[in-house]
Structure 1
Amino acid sequence: MADVKTPKAPSSPLLSRPGAVAAEGADEGVAAHYGDLFREQAALADGSGLVDLSHRGVVAVTGPDRLSWLHLLITQHVTDLPPGQATEALILSSNGHIEHALYLVDDGETVWAHVEPGTRGELVAYLESMVFFYRVEVADRTDEYAVVHLPAGSIAPVPDGAVVRETPYGRDLFLPRAELEPYADANGPLAGILAYEALRVEAHRPRLGFETDHRTIPHELGLIGSAVHLQKGCYRGQETVARVQNLGKPPRRLVFLHLDGSDVRLPGPGTPVRLASDGEDGRKLGFVTTSARHHELGPIALALVKRNVPVDAELMAGDTAAAQETVVEP
């Protein structure tokens, strides 16, 4: 499919809040932090505050065939998805590489999904091209709805007109954009995207465009079960999923890294990962995907490494010492 230009989501009005520092790159349009990164992380970890994710795309699918139709296109089993039950799914290429990640919930009339910034245009174009004779309608609702994240344990109320996606990590609200500011004012404190990302890395949760590249397959990231259902009908890319499942040999695996806290700078995305015993001139065995500063763990990261890297090997992320934890078994 040809590239489809996606307009930016409306810039968040919460960027005008005191202390707000705008995020850059993929998360442009929301706040990186509001002046105290570690305090914001600690608040989220304790179940208070909220995260503005209004830069994410919102896609809605309506119609009586919406679940059976989506079931044919995505990696998740959704034909009998109960209203209010959250799930996540992927859309793969014909070679089984990850193209889209969807975070879904059905409210009984509409399937709502939030997706990575910059991906909704191509996703909607693909979905619309696959409608054929099915009774479904696909709509980009990003200009009308904003995503807000409430951490696990939050007692913040759900306002009228919002759709809730309940997960073990908290609640995602699809909130009418006109309600974003008043809801944030009533249910703060605000936490920026850097705090949210640090907790995501701690939880070993991969993110499209961060832990993925043009050749990433679901097994490499540990997405079998959470986003890929192995007992469902055919979908694009299923042959690769079945082959790797049967052979058990994905070429790479996701690892979690505890980084040396004495270094001032974090290793950025793409930083080579090598065996510590080989030094900086050793063979590249992988690369850092996301790094973050955690309020309790210190500097941490996720990385993709070759499958045969020993699970107990001491690593170097660039010139930073790194101890690994297994996320995906080799």
Structure 2
Amino acid sequence: MSESEPETAPLRLDLAHRTLLQMTGEDRVKFLHNLSTGDIKKLPPGQGCEAFIPTLQGKILGHFFILPTAAAIYLTGVRDQAAALLPHFQKYAVIEDVEVVDRSETANEFLVAGVHAEGWINSNLGVAPPQGNLQIVEQENMLVYRSPLVAGPAWGVIFLGDSPHREAFAAAEPSVINDAVFELLRIEAGFPFYGRDLTVDNLCQEADRDATAISFTKGCYLGQETIARIDALGHVNRRLLGVRFPNKPAEDASYEIDGKPALRVTSISWSPAAEHWIGLAMVRRGYDKPGETLETSSGPVEIVALPFSA
């Protein structure tokens, strides 16, 4: 990351396309706890979590960072998730004191990353960036949270409305990165994008993010029966892993071994550090051992544990 940024400016990416849902009402904590894989009830003040919104069958209807504040809970995730989730939430909110509003068009979110990000946020936004994963600082219509979207130091900055910090953010103009660079950074971190790497056809455990996005100790919630059964069984039939190629693969390419499906590539990028094409892929059980190189019908593919190491 440091090779592509100026000496004193962090990297910045406008994440205005992300889905941002705002949940208010007295029952919001209980409501989201019952409809997500996160242990929302046990989150201390200023601490968020990553979670899936599962279907009754334990499949992924949404994938978010959950950011609770004193007055609301914010769910931030990749674009175009509101259309499916708002009716889903409305269906279960009939007797609950909860309101869910789509703030995707009215709020602004940015990613600030790199070795200079912490000092820049402190100097220009007047807040000490939180250090723990998905910890949150709230100040004057602004949320700053430690983000795992990319490897290394990174923070999400959300402006919920008019804020003096918004003007300071725009005036300072940190180094801006394009979508291609961001794609490389988030693939290196092994972070999946819903709608591309994961869809509603995937079971929650196929994302291979059990430790970061699923609580196996919380009480009952929608989809828990299937998720608990898979946990007891000990495996799913496919899971998202890293892949490394000697030559550029076709995006969304499927690879076979002896005429049987072995993996499907979901995201790819050229990695200057690794001097290889790297990516994320949904890998079938039996071929999902990191460190092994598969000889497939389309050439060799190395299976890699996430996140990638340089």
Report the TM-score when normalising by structure 2: 0.81
Q: Summarize deviations over 1:271-296 as a string: whole Å, max 9, x none.
A: 01234xx5xxx432120011012231
Change in CA separation of 1:124 and 1:63 when aligned onto 2, cut-off 3 Å: same
Contact 1:266 1:292 in 2 (8 A): no
Residue 29 of structure 2: SS of its match in structure 1? helix
2:19 maps to which of 44, 47, 57? 57
Question: Is 1:314 matched with 2:297?
Answer: no
Residue 243 of structure 1: SS of its match in structure 2? helix
Change in CA separation of 1:310 and 1:60 when aligned onto 2, cut-off 3 Å: closer
Q: d(CA) in 1 for partners of 2:9 and 2:244?
A: 24
Q: Which amino acid aligns with 1:303?
A: A
Match in the other structure for 1:11: none
Residue 285 of structure 1: SS of its match in structure 2? strand
Q: Summarize deviations over 1:142-191 as a string: whole Å, max 9, x none.
A: 22101111125412323742112223552111124777686245141001
Q: Which amino acid aligns with 1:89?
A: A
1:162 maps to which of 130, 134, 142? 142
Question: Is 1:247 matched with 2:256?
Answer: no
Question: Is 1:219 matched with 2:205?
Answer: yes
Residue 206 of structure 2: SS of its match in structure 1? helix
> What RMSD in Å do the two structures reach over aligned CA positions?
2.7
- Percent sequence identity over matched residues? 24
Residue 231 of structure 2: SS of its match in structure 1? helix
Contact 2:39 2:218 in 1 (8 A): yes
1:201 maps to which of 167, 187, 210? 187
* TM alignment of 1:61-72, pairs within 5 A: 61-72=23-34
Residue 321 of structure 1: SS of its match in structure 2? strand
Match in the other structure for 1:135: 97
Question: Is 1:283 matched with 2:267?
Answer: no
Match in the other structure for 2:129: none
Q: d(CA) in 1 for partners of 2:232 and 2:82?
A: 33
Q: Which amino acid aligns with 2:145?
A: R
Match in the other structure for 1:302: 280
Report the TM-score when normalising by structure 1: 0.76
Contact 2:110 2:157 in 1 (8 A): yes
Gaps of 5+ in 1: 1-38
Using the TM superposition, name which of 54-63 and 116-125 deviates more.
116-125
Q: Summarize deviations over 1:196-236 as a string: whole Å, max 9, x none.
A: 22111111222211222343112222221211100111112
Gaps of 5+ in 2: 127-139
Q: d(CA) in 2 for partners of 1:125 and 1:137?
A: 12
Question: Is 1:256 matched with 2:218?
Answer: no
Contact 1:61 1:112 in 2 (8 A): yes
Residue 104 of structure 2: SS of its match in structure 1? coil
Residue 66 of structure 2: SS of its match in structure 1? strand
Match in the other structure for 2:156: 172
